[in-house]
Amino acid sequence: MRRITLLRTGLSAVLLLGTWATASALPASAADAPARSAQAPASPALLDAMQRDLGLTRQQAVTRLAAEKTATAVEPKARSAAGSAYAGSWFDADRGRLTVAVTTAARADAVRATGASVRVVRHSAAQLDATKKRLDALSAPDGVGSWHVDAKANTVVVNVVTAHRDDNDVRSFLDRARKAGPVTVRHTAAAPRTFAAGTVGGDPYYTGNVRCSIGFSVHGGFVTAGHCGRPSAAVYGWDRSYIGNFQGSSFPGDDYAWVNVGSGWWTVPVVLGWGTVPDQLVRGSAEAPVGASICRSGSTTHWHCGTVLAKNETVNYSQGAVYQMTKTSVCAEPGDSGGSFISGDQAQGVTSGGWGNCSSGGETWHQPVNEILNRYGLRLHTA
């Protein structure tokens, strides 16, 4: 049967080539599964992955997702209550609450009234963002991996590859960086790289000699990573049939793209589990806070989970810097580029790159999905 064949192929994300009766049909594992209650935070697949990768019990995973959903809703209210004293926020997994940093105790009660915990710090988010912007204007050497605002540490963190920390050009960059504002240097094991891969058979989508993973369905197509293809490049599915073309693509500077869908293909609001785990329905794109759990789905390594480590990080790839990225502790490997980052049932972003692998561990960055939608005027396809 066609839909069973499709699930066994390992299609990476949210498009299916089909001969089903209607374009609104869902894949078997989504359409035939028992209906979940409105309160259920995630599919069994996502809960299983959180248990495996975060060392949680099933109940702990359910409880954490519920707390993260609350924190996501509280964050904009707390930011508004903090006003100009706002200095960033993060999800405290141990306490199950959002923590908001402020520069004056006078705003603490108003922030607490929203349901958040409060920490008083020295530098505001505006000051830290201004420091990061000054660093973005600098030319970084290969030994500098990335930099981002760390609200919890109340500083801008510059990540230097350990093997290059004594390089003269790295030292020179750090000297200039420290003059820009509050900066802390940390060391990382390896330099970031993108996760595209050469062509191999039976995988999700191809363009030229590159294999990448589909991110999320939008009305009219899907979003993915910009480094996977240039505008107008043809895109082919797992069976080498024509899907569409890159309608927009940006890399470096950004790492996002979108592909139109036609020729017998259509979009559905799911992240597939390749027939080994149930599929995850996509219900929205509310952005999870730093510290929240997050899972990634890609055509090479399938489901893996971790936590959000940082937002608005500048990543210094060999091809050039990419801005406004989100860093996570989730692993990835070549071929996972463009794939889905999801928190609960909320779309977060498309896989860009990272370092390490899913055997020894590592870190990855994703391009936030809401930025892609806004850039191209797209509408996320949701369940």
Which residues are within 8 A (CB) of 312 and not within 5 positions of it... i.e. 6 or more apart? 129, 132, 148, 149, 323, 324, 325, 326
Distance of alpha carbon 321 from the chain centroid: 17
What is the percentage of the chain residues whose pLDDT exceeds 90? 74
CA within 13 Å, CB half, 276: 12
pLDDT band (50, 70, 90) for residue 25: very low
Exactly one of 285, 297, 337, 343 is catalytic; which is it?
A: 337
Q: pTM of the entire structure? A: 0.79
pLDDT at position 26 over 80 = no
Q: What is the largest CA-CA distance in the chain?
A: 65
Exactly one of 48, 255, 279, 345 is catalytic; which is it?
A: 255
User: In the prediction, which pLDDT does 49 show?
Assistant: 85
Inter-axis angle of helices 44-54 and 58-82, to 10 degrees? 90
- Which residue type is seen at 84? S
Per-chain mean pLDDT for the chain:
86
> Which one is predicted more confidently, 76 or 9?
76
pLDDT at position 349 over 60 = yes
pLDDT at position 364 over 70 = yes
Taking the CB of residue 261, how many other CB atoms lie within 10 A of it?
22
Question: What SS3 class is residue 194?
Answer: strand
pLDDT at position 256 over 60 = yes
Which residues are within 8 A (CB) of 39 and not within 5 positions of it... i.e. 6 or more apart? none
User: In the prediction, which pLDDT does 275 show?
Assistant: 56
Q: Are 116 and 89 in contact (CB under 8 A)?
A: yes
Active site residue 53: no
User: In the prediction, which pLDDT does 197 show?
Assistant: 58
Residue-wise pLDDT tens digits, 133-179:
999 999 999 999 999 999 999 999 999 999 999 999 999 999 999 99
> Which one is predicted more confidently, 147 or 239?
147
> Which one is predicted more confidently, 89 or 22?
89
Query: 217 pairs with which residues across the strands?
Result: 222
Active site residue 227: yes
pLDDT at position 24 over 70 = no
User: In the prediction, which pLDDT does 34 show?
Assistant: 33
Exactly one of 123, 227, 304, 381 is catalytic; which is it?
A: 227
User: In the prediction, which pLDDT does 16 show?
Assistant: 28
pLDDT, average across residues 188-208: 74
Query: 86 pairs with which residues across the strands?
Result: 102
| Main-chain phi, psi angles of 115, to 5 degrees | 110, 0
What is the percentage of the chain residues whose pLDDT exceeds 70? 85
User: In the prediction, which pLDDT does 262 show?
Assistant: 87
Distance of alpha carbon 41 from the chain centroid: 18
pLDDT at position 339 over 80 = yes
pLDDT, average across residues 84-108: 97
User: In the prediction, which pLDDT does 194 show?
Assistant: 86
Both tokens of residue 166? 């004594």
> Which one is predicted more confidently, 253 or 204?
253
Residue-wise pLDDT tens digits, 277-308:
567 889 999 999 999 999 998 999 988 999 99
pLDDT, average across residues 230-256: 94
User: In the prediction, which pLDDT does 150 show?
Assistant: 98
Cα(237)–Cα(249) distance, integer angstroms? 18
